[in-house]
Amino acid sequence: MIIQVLTKTLGPAMEFQSFRIYWFGTLASVIGFQILAFSQFWIIHELTGSALYLGYVGVANSLPSMALNLFGGVLADKIDKKRLIAITQTVNVLLIGILVFLIFTNIVEAWHVIILAFLTGSVNAFDLPARIALYPTLVAKSALMNAVALNTSIWTGTNIIAPAIAGLVISNAGTMSAFIVSAMGFLIMAVLVMFLPKTPIRSSGISPLKDLAAGIRFIFKNNIFALLIGMSFFISFFGLSYMPMMPVFSVDILEIGVDGQGILMAVAGIGSLITTLVLARIGNFPHRGIVILSGAILFGVLLIVFASTSLFFKNYSLAIILMFFIGLSYTSFGIPVISFLQLMVPDNLRGRVMGMFGMTWAFTPLGGLYVGFSAGFFGNPSEGVPIVLAFGGLLIVFFAVAVTLMNRNIVKIGQINRSLESNNNV
CATH of the domain at 215: 1.20.1250.20
My answer on whether 18 and 59 are in the same domain is yes
Indicate the residue type of 110. A
CB 363 within 8 A of CB 237: yes
- Per-residue pLDDT of 191-202, as tens digits, reads 999 999 877 665
Q: What are phi and psi of 337, to 5 degrees?
A: -65, -50
Look over the chain and give the mean of its residue pLDDT values, rounded to a whole number: 85
| pLDDT of res. 205 | 54
Q: Residues 288-301: what's their mean pLDDT?
A: 94
- Say if residue 310 is exposed, middle or buried (CB neighbours under 10 Å; 0-12, 13-18, 19+): buried
My answer on whether 7 and 58 are in the same domain is yes
Alpha carbon 184 to chain centroid distance?
21
Share of the chain above pLDDT 90, in %: 36
Using 50, 70 and 90 to split pLDDT, how confident is the model at 268?
Answer: confident
Alpha-carbon distance 300 to 326, whole Å? 9
Among 185, 200, 215, where does a domain finish? Answer: 200
Quick one: the chain helix, strand, coil %, rounded to 5? Answer: 90, 0, 10
- 266: number of CA atoms within 13 Å, CB side? 11
Q: Residues 203-222: what's their mean pLDDT?
A: 77
- 150: number of CA atoms within 13 Å, CB side? 30
Closest CA to 317 of 306, 328, 308, 326: 306
Q: Residues 241-262: what's their mean pLDDT?
A: 80
- Say if residue 419 is exposed, middle or buried (CB neighbours under 10 Å; 0-12, 13-18, 19+): exposed
Alpha-carbon distance 323 to 261, whole Å? 11
String of b and e for 131-147 (b: at least 16 CB within 10 Å)? Answer: bbbbbbbbbeeebbbbb
Q: Count CB atoms within 10 A of the CB of residue 183.
A: 22
My answer on whether 97 and 188 are in the same domain is yes
Indicate the residue type of 238. F
My answer on whether 88 and 195 are in the same domain is yes
My answer on whether 266 and 391 are in the same domain is yes
Closest CA to 424 of 357, 358, 349: 349
Alpha-carbon distance 228 to 295, whole Å? 13
Residue numbers of the domain that contains 333: 204-426
Number of domains in the chain: 2
CB 301 within 8 A of CB 396: no
| pLDDT of res. 294 | 95
Q: DSSP secondary-structure letter at 425?
A: -
- 341 Cβ contact list (under 8 Å, min separation 6): 225, 228, 229, 353, 354, 357
Alpha helices in 174-222 (DSSP H): 175-192, 208-221
My answer on whether 382 and 314 are in the same domain is yes
Among 156, 173, 200, where does a domain finish? Answer: 200
- Per-residue pLDDT of 169-211, as tens digits, reads 888 888 899 999 999 999 999 999 999 987 766 555 567 777 7
Give just the sign of the alpha carbon dihedral 84, 136, 358, 45. Answer: negative
My answer on whether 264 and 333 are in the same domain is yes
- 308 Cβ contact list (under 8 Å, min separation 6): 386, 390
Q: Is the pLDDT of residue 85 over 90?
A: yes
Q: Residues 310-325: what's their mean pLDDT?
A: 96
Dihedral angle at the C-alpha atoms of 417, 330, 139, 154, nearest 10 degrees? Answer: 170
My answer on whether 128 and 208 are in the same domain is no
CB 347 within 8 A of CB 200: yes
Alpha carbon 190 to chain centroid distance?
20
My answer on whether 340 and 226 are in the same domain is yes
pTM reported for the whole predicted model: 0.81
Q: Is the pLDDT of residue 245 over 90?
A: no
Alpha-carbon distance 239 to 140, whole Å? 33
My answer on whether 309 and 278 are in the same domain is yes
Q: Residues 87-91: what's their mean pLDDT?
A: 96
Among 169, 200, 231, where does a domain finish? Answer: 200
My answer on whether 170 and 263 are in the same domain is no
My answer on whether 329 and 221 are in the same domain is yes
